[in-house]
Structure 1
C-alpha cells in the first residue's frame, strides 16, 4: 500500500518548504519510487517542485504532479460544492499513488487562494488520500506563549477533523525560551513536536533574487557572484569616510548611480577583505562611465554591480520585504535547509512514524543517504588539502551543515576566509592563525579548522617523520622540510600521525600528487598485496562497483584476485551485496588466450580464498549485467545477469568503461575509492562536482570508522 505524507500549515510564511524537503529526503532513503502531488497550485512556476525534481532526479510527468489551479478550484467549489472538488482531486491523487511506493503531498499555501475554510480543506484531502499529516506552524517573531498556543491550536484543529497526525513542527523559532516552551508542550501531546530555529542563511535572498525582484540589469558580475547571499542592506549617501565603516560582511550596497566614489570604495574594501560585500545596486538608472566600470571590474572580479531604474525609496521597499527562496537555482540553500532539518528533527523517530517499508534494492539515492547516515553515526575528522578551491569550500559547508564529519582545510587562512566570504559560505572561520589544536565551530555540531603548512608548527615534526620514513631513499631533514610544506604531503602526514582520520584531494591536483604521498607514508595494510581502487557507479536504477579503474595498470592473476576480493569487501561495507563478475572478452569456456586465461586463473584464486563470495568468470559485461543475455550465455549462474561488482582485466579497459558509462548513461561516478591502504586516502576527479566531493568525503569517513572502530584519530 502506498504511504503518503501530507505536509500542511495553518497560515502564510511558515517556511514549510524546509520540512517538505526534509520529508522528501526521508522518503527517498526508504523507497525507490517517490511521487509528488500538489492538489492546488498557482499559475506561476512551482519552484519547490522544480527543486525536488532536480535534486531527487524525479521522472514523474509534470502533468500528474498538480491537481488543479486555485482559480479553477474556487470556481468549481462555488458552482458544484466542496464534495465535487474533493472528488476530482482524489481521482488525480490516485493517478500518482497507484504508480509510486510513497507520495509527498504539498498542502495549500494559504496565499491568495480564494478558498474558504482552507485548513479544513487540507484535513479532508489528507483523510481522503489516506495520508499522514505533518502540520507546520510559523513561529517567527512570536512570544513563547503565542508559539505554544499556535502549535496546540493547530494540533487540536487537525485532530478534531480526523487527521492522522504523525508530528508537529514549530518553524522559524528565534527565541530560545519559545523553543524550550514548545519542547515542553511535546510532553503533553501524543505526537512528537520538533522545533526548527530561524536560519538567517535561508532567509537571506541571493543577489540573483534581488535582480529578479527589482528588474535590475547586470553591469558586472558572474554566476558565482549572483549566488551570494544578501545578509544586510547598506544605503550609501554619506561621504566615503562615513560610508566605509557601515559596510558589513555580505551586505548589498544600495547607492545612487552617480556616486562612483562609493562604488569604488565598496569594491576596494571588498578586495581588501574588509569586508566581503554581496554586491552593489545602483539606482536611478545612472551608470558609471566605462573607465570607472573597468576599474571596478579589476578591483573585485566577479562581484555583482547592478542598476535599477527606480530611486532609493522604491528600491528599498522592494528589498526590505524580500526573502530567500528554496529553488533549483539555489542548491546551496537546499543543503542548508536539509542540515537544519536533520539537526533538529529526530530522523529515526519521524521515519518510524512514517511507517514506510524499505525497498530491498539499493538505489543511487539510497546509497548517498546511507553514506551520510553512516558517516554521522561516528563522526570522523577528514583533511582537505585544497582548502582554497571553490568546490572544496562549498562541499565543506555541506559537510559541516549536515554534520557529516569534522574538517581541516589546508592553506593560507586569510585566503580561505576571504574566498569563503566572497562565496557566502557559512564556515564561520574567525580571524587569526589556526592549528590542529584550535577547532572552529561549524553549523550542526561538526567543526572545521584551518592549517597553513607553510607556517604550522607541525612542519618540523612532519619533516622528522618523513625523513625517517624515506631515509633509505636518501631523504634528509632539510629536503623533508621542503617536501612536507606541500599540502598533499602535509595532509597525508596528518592522517599518518593520527591528527586526522582520512584525506580527500584531487579537485585541482593530479591522481599521482594525491596517491604518491599515501604510498610513501601510509603504505598498504598487512593483509593487502596491492593498493587498488573502485568507482561506485550510480546508475538510474542501481549501484554497481567497478574495479580497478584508476591505480593498477596491468594486474596479473594474483593481483586481479586481490582486486576482486578488495572490491567485494568495499561493496559490502557500503551496502551493495557483492556478486562478483571477473570480466573478459569471452564468457565461460567460449574463448582462450593469455588474457582470458589470466581472468580464469584469477577467478579460481578468488573462489579458493573467499568461497563465500558469489564469483563468476571469465564473463563478458553484457552477460554480467543483463539477465536476458545471461540466460543464453550462462544459464543457472548465481552472478550472471545480476552482478554488482565488476572487475576489469586491466586499467585501460576499466578506465575507459567507467568514463563511457558515466557520460553515455548519465551515471554518477563516485571515486576512485582507494582500497588496501592502512588509513583512508581518496582521490577526486579534477572535474568533480560539489556533490562528488561530499560523497567521497563521506566514503572516506566511513572507511575511517572501520580503521578506527573505537574512536577518532583526530
Structure 2
C-alpha cells in the first residue's frame, strides 16, 4: 500500500515567475551522495514511458575516463531498458572536467547557457525528458544544490529532490526533507514532490507522520531494501580486478549478502556459511574451497561464490572437482591478501546497470510500492500519446493487473524462468502467486539463483506486498477434495476417486482444479510442459463459457505505433463458419478488454464480392453470422490483409468501409494462415507478439511457449490476471 503525505490544503507550488508551471521534464536531484536516487530515476522513467512515446534522458554533467566523457551507468540502463532511439552523444551535456574549464574561463552563465543549448537539442526530439542531476561525488562545483536548481529552472523542469535516509533517525530525515524543500523552493524551483529514500523500514511511518501538514507537495518515504543494496559477485570481481576461474553469467549475477572469511579448519568453518555469503579465503586452502562448494551442493545455505586471495591458483584437479560440485558457482582469485581485500569489499554497494536487469525490477517494485504513481503522474501533467507502442501496451497491462490484484497459480514452480518471473511479479505487486512444487526444493532453487521470494502465507506482508504460496500437490490437504471433484466431473469416462488421487498430483491438473474451485483466479503453464498438457485439464475441468462454442486464441501484435489483435493463430486448425464467427466475436471482446478498439476484419484471399469458392464462402458466411449476433460490432469480410490495414488499398477495394484500412482485429480463416502470418510479421516487421491468449474458457488459463523468456512469462501472467478481473458470464458457475 502506497502511503504519502499529501499537500497541505489550499497551498500550491509556483515557479519563480509566480505562475504554476506545466513541465514536460522532470529533474531528479539530491542534496548529498548516497541517497540511492537511481531507483527513483528509474521509477520516474517508468511513469513517463507509460504516458508518451518519445521520452529522453539527459545527464548535464558526467564523469570522464581518459579525458573523454564516460558512459554513465544509469543513462545506459535507461537507454537500454526503454529502447531509446536517440544519439548517445545527445544524452550528455559536458564532463565535469569540461564544465570546470568552461566555468573558469567564461563564467557560470556561459556554462549554464551551453548546457541549456544541449538540453534543448534533445528536448526538441522528445515529448518528455528525464534529467539526472549531479551526483555530489568528487566534483568541483562550489554550490552543487544551487547549480542543480538553476539548471532545473533554465530547463523549465519540475524538480524531484531525493533525500537519503540511510542510517539516520526519524527526526534527522524529517529535518533534511524540510530543509531540502525550502532550499529548492527558495531558489525558485517548481517542486514535484519530495522523496526520503533508503529510510529504515521501522522509521517509514514516523517520517511520514513527522512531515504531515508541513509541505505543499506530496512526500514519500521509501525504505531501505537489502536486495537492492547488495552488490553482485560480478560487481565485486570488477571492483577488485579479480580473475574468474569458474562460474557462469548467472553465477556472477548472484547477490552477495555477506562475507565469510576463512582461516579456521573445515569443521569450524562450515557452520559459519550463510545464504548468499561470499567466501574469502587464501588460495592455498583447497579444503575450504571444496568444503564450501560441497556444502552448497548438499543443500546447506547456498553461497554466492568463493574469492581466493594471495594470487594462489588451485591445481587443475581441485578446480575440476570444484566445477563438478557446484556448476556455475563463481570462483575467482585476487592478488591481495585477506585484509586489504576485506577493506575493499565492505565498501562496495550495488548499482543499477544494464548488466543486471533483475536489480532494476527490484528497484521498480520498491518505487511502485511506496510512491503513489498515479498521483505523481498527474502532477507531471502529461497527456497520453495517441500512439500505442509495445512498451506503452506492456506498461498499461501491468498497471491494469496491479490495480485489482488477482491470484495466479504457476504449476512449474521449480523452473528457473518461472522463478525469475515470479520474483518480478511479486516485487512489482502484479499478482499474488502460488508456485506448485515441493517447497524445500523450490526454496533451494530460488536461493541458488540468488532470488528473494517473500515468505509463504505471510499474514501481513510489509506494505501490502503481493503474497506467495508454495504447494506440493502430493502432500496438499486439497488432494482428496480435488480427487473427489475430478472423479465426479469425469465419471462418464470411468474415473474413480482412487484413480483421481494420482491424476490430481499432476501439477497441471492440480493448478487447473485450484482455478476451478476459486482458490486461484487463473493459471499459466507451458514453460516446460506441452500445450496439450496445459490445455487438456482446462477442457476437462473448466470447460467453455456458456456463450462460446470453442476455445480459441489471439496474439497481441505490438507494432511500432499500434497494437493489432490476430486470431486464431494457435488452437483451431480449420474452423467452420460458425466457429470462425465465434472466434471473431471473442477476439473483439478480448481486444476491447485490453484497450484496443475492435474493428474486425475476417481475412480471405479475396475482398468483398470479387472472389468465390468454398474458402471465401466460409468467411463470407462467418461475417454474416457476426453481424447477426453482434450488430454493434464494426466488421468487414471477406477482405484481404492489405485492404484491411492499408487505407490507400482500402480506398480502392472497399471504399466507404468503416473497417477496411483501419482494422484492429484480424481473423484468419485457418491455423495455417494465421500461424505463419503472425510469425512472418513478428520476424520481418520487428513486432512484439504477446500470446497466445486463450479465450472462451469460463476461467482464465494460458499457455506459454517452451522457449518463453522471463519477460514473456511476466506478460502472460499479467494478461491472465487482467482476464480474471473481467466479469464472468452469467451461468459460469
State the TM-score, normalizing by the size of structure 1. Answer: 0.96
Q: Does the residue aligned with 1:674 lie in a helix, a strand or coil?
A: strand
Q: Give yes or no for the alignment of 1:8 onto 2:34.
A: no
Q: Give yes or no for the alignment of 1:477 onto 2:497.
A: yes
Write the distance in 1 (CA, Å) between the matches of 2:85 and 2:613: 45
Q: Shift of residue 191 of structure 1?
A: 0.6
5 Å matches for 1:255-266?
A: 255-266=281-292
**Residue 544 of structure 1 aligns with which residue?**
564
Show structure 1 runs of 5+ residues with no match.
431-436
Write the distance in 2 (CA, Å) between the matches of 1:429 and 1:294: 36
Write the distance in 2 (CA, Å) between the matches of 1:645 and 1:630: 16
Write the distance in 1 (CA, Å) between the matches of 2:589 and 2:294: 55
Deviations 1:484-504 (A, max 9, x none): 111101100111111111100
More displaced 10-residue stretch of structure 1: 565-574 or 53-62: 53-62
Q: Shift of residue 457 of structure 1?
A: 2.2
Query: Which residue of 56, 61, 80 maps to 1:35?
Result: 56
Query: Which residue of 523, 530, 544 maps to 1:510?
Result: 530
Q: Does the residue aligned with 1:202 lie in a helix, a strand or coil?
A: helix
Q: Give yes or no for the alignment of 1:376 onto 2:402.
A: yes
Change (3 A) 1:466 1:438: farther
Q: Does the residue aligned with 1:455 lie in a helix, a strand or coil?
A: coil
Write the distance in 2 (CA, Å) between the matches of 1:175 and 1:446: 17
Q: Shift of residue 663 of structure 1?
A: 2.5
Q: Shift of residue 21 of structure 1?
A: 0.5
Q: Give yes or no for the alignment of 1:198 onto 2:224.
A: yes
5 Å matches for 1:92-111?
A: 92-111=118-137
Change (3 A) 1:381 1:175: closer
Change (3 A) 1:523 1:659: same
**Residue 434 of structure 1 aligns with which residue?**
none
Query: Which residue of 586, 606, 618 maps to 2:606?
Result: 586
Is the Cα–Cα contact under 8 Å of residues 148 and 178 in structure 1 kept in the other structure? Answer: no
Is the Cα–Cα contact under 8 Å of residues 28 and 162 in structure 2 kept in the other structure? Answer: yes
Q: Shift of residue 63 of structure 1?
A: 2.1
More displaced 10-residue stretch of structure 1: 631-640 or 604-613: 631-640
5 Å matches for 1:158-173?
A: 158-173=184-199
Change (3 A) 1:444 1:112: farther
Q: Shift of residue 182 of structure 1?
A: 4.2
Deviations 1:95-120 (A, max 9, x none): 22222111111111111222222211
Q: Does the residue aligned with 1:253 lie in a helix, a strand or coil?
A: strand
Q: Give yes or no for the alignment of 1:705 onto 2:725.
A: yes
Is the Cα–Cα contact under 8 Å of residues 143 and 178 in structure 1 kept in the other structure? Answer: no
Q: Does the residue aligned with 1:165 lie in a helix, a strand or coil?
A: coil
Q: Does the residue aligned with 2:279 lie in a helix, a strand or coil?
A: strand
Is the Cα–Cα contact under 8 Å of residues 381 and 405 in structure 1 kept in the other structure? Answer: yes
Change (3 A) 1:183 1:662: farther
Number of residue-to-residue matches in the alignment: 705
Write the distance in 2 (CA, Å) between the matches of 1:708 and 1:333: 37
Is the Cα–Cα contact under 8 Å of residues 400 and 444 in structure 1 kept in the other structure? Answer: no
Q: Shift of residue 591 of structure 1?
A: 2.4
**Residue 262 of structure 2 aligns with which residue?**
236
**Residue 570 of structure 1 aligns with which residue?**
590
Write the distance in 1 (CA, Å) between the matches of 2:514 and 2:695: 19
Q: Does the residue aligned with 1:164 lie in a helix, a strand or coil?
A: coil
Write the distance in 2 (CA, Å) between the matches of 1:501 and 1:177: 36
Query: Which residue of 267, 292, 300 maps to 2:318?
Result: 292
Is the Cα–Cα contact under 8 Å of residues 67 and 92 in structure 1 kept in the other structure? Answer: yes
Write the distance in 1 (CA, Å) between the matches of 2:334 and 2:639: 65
Q: Give yes or no for the alignment of 1:390 onto 2:379.
A: no
**Residue 14 of structure 2 aligns with which residue?**
none
Is the Cα–Cα contact under 8 Å of residues 23 and 157 in structure 2 kept in the other structure? Answer: no
Deviations 1:551-600 (A, max 9, x none): 11101111111101100100110111111121112222332222122112
Write the distance in 2 (CA, Å) between the matches of 1:643 and 1:226: 47
Deviations 1:224-267 (A, max 9, x none): 11111000011111111111111110000000111111111111
Write the distance in 2 (CA, Å) between the matches of 1:428 and 1:129: 42
Write the distance in 2 (CA, Å) between the matches of 1:58 and 1:375: 25
More displaced 10-residue stretch of structure 1: 563-572 or 697-706: 697-706
Is the Cα–Cα contact under 8 Å of residues 4 and 105 in structure 1 kept in the other structure? Answer: yes
**Residue 211 of structure 1 aligns with which residue?**
237
Write the distance in 1 (CA, Å) between the matches of 2:577 and 2:131: 54
**Residue 523 of structure 1 aligns with which residue?**
543
More displaced 10-residue stretch of structure 1: 49-58 or 498-507: 49-58
**Residue 137 of structure 1 aligns with which residue?**
163
Write the distance in 1 (CA, Å) between the matches of 2:121 and 2:662: 32
More displaced 10-residue stretch of structure 1: 48-57 or 246-255: 48-57
Change (3 A) 1:211 1:633: farther
Is the Cα–Cα contact under 8 Å of residues 340 and 444 in structure 1 kept in the other structure? Answer: no
Q: Give yes or no for the alignment of 1:279 onto 2:305.
A: yes
Q: Give yes or no for the alignment of 1:19 onto 2:40.
A: yes
Is the Cα–Cα contact under 8 Å of residues 6 and 105 in structure 1 kept in the other structure? Answer: yes
Is the Cα–Cα contact under 8 Å of residues 428 and 440 in structure 1 kept in the other structure? Answer: no
Deviations 1:16-40 (A, max 9, x none): 1111110011111111221111111
More displaced 10-residue stretch of structure 1: 164-173 or 39-48: 39-48
Q: Does the residue aligned with 1:350 lie in a helix, a strand or coil?
A: helix
Query: Which residue of 508, 512, 516 maps to 1:496?
Result: 516
**Residue 640 of structure 2 aligns with which residue?**
620
Q: Give yes or no for the alignment of 1:316 onto 2:337.
A: no
More displaced 10-residue stretch of structure 1: 148-157 or 163-172: 148-157
Deviations 1:323-352 (A, max 9, x none): 111111111111100010000001121112
Q: Shift of residue 438 of structure 1?
A: 8.0
**Residue 657 of structure 2 aligns with which residue?**
637
Q: Shift of residue 442 of structure 1?
A: 8.1
**Residue 337 of structure 1 aligns with which residue?**
363
More displaced 10-residue stretch of structure 1: 254-263 or 586-595: 586-595
Q: Give yes or no for the alignment of 1:252 onto 2:278.
A: yes
Write the distance in 1 (CA, Å) between the matches of 2:238 and 2:650: 55
Is the Cα–Cα contact under 8 Å of residues 410 and 525 in structure 2 kept in the other structure? Answer: yes
Write the distance in 2 (CA, Å) between the matches of 1:40 and 1:634: 56
Q: Shift of residue 139 of structure 1?
A: 1.2
Is the Cα–Cα contact under 8 Å of residues 375 and 404 in structure 1 kept in the other structure? Answer: yes
Write the distance in 2 (CA, Å) between the matches of 1:149 and 1:443: 24
Write the distance in 2 (CA, Å) between the matches of 1:40 and 1:593: 68
Q: Shift of residue 287 of structure 1?
A: 1.6
More displaced 10-residue stretch of structure 1: 524-533 or 60-69: 60-69
Write the distance in 2 (CA, Å) between the matches of 1:439 and 1:494: 20
**Residue 226 of structure 1 aligns with which residue?**
252
Is the Cα–Cα contact under 8 Å of residues 183 and 193 in structure 1 kept in the other structure? Answer: no
Write the distance in 2 (CA, Å) between the matches of 1:12 and 1:548: 54
Show structure 2 runs of 5+ residues with no match.
1-21, 64-68
Is the Cα–Cα contact under 8 Å of residues 362 and 576 in structure 1 kept in the other structure? Answer: no
Write the distance in 2 (CA, Å) between the matches of 1:70 and 1:470: 73
**Residue 294 of structure 2 aligns with which residue?**
268
Is the Cα–Cα contact under 8 Å of residues 546 and 729 in structure 2 kept in the other structure? Answer: no
Is the Cα–Cα contact under 8 Å of residues 533 and 674 in structure 1 kept in the other structure? Answer: yes
Deviations 1:27-79 (A, max 9, x none): 11111221111111123221111211222121122122111221111111111
More displaced 10-residue stretch of structure 1: 597-606 or 162-171: 597-606
Q: Shift of residue 441 of structure 1?
A: 5.1
CA RMSD, Structure 1 to Structure 2 (Å) = 1.9
Query: Which residue of 680, 688, 694 maps to 2:708?
Result: 688
Is the Cα–Cα contact under 8 Å of residues 400 and 442 in structure 1 kept in the other structure? Answer: no
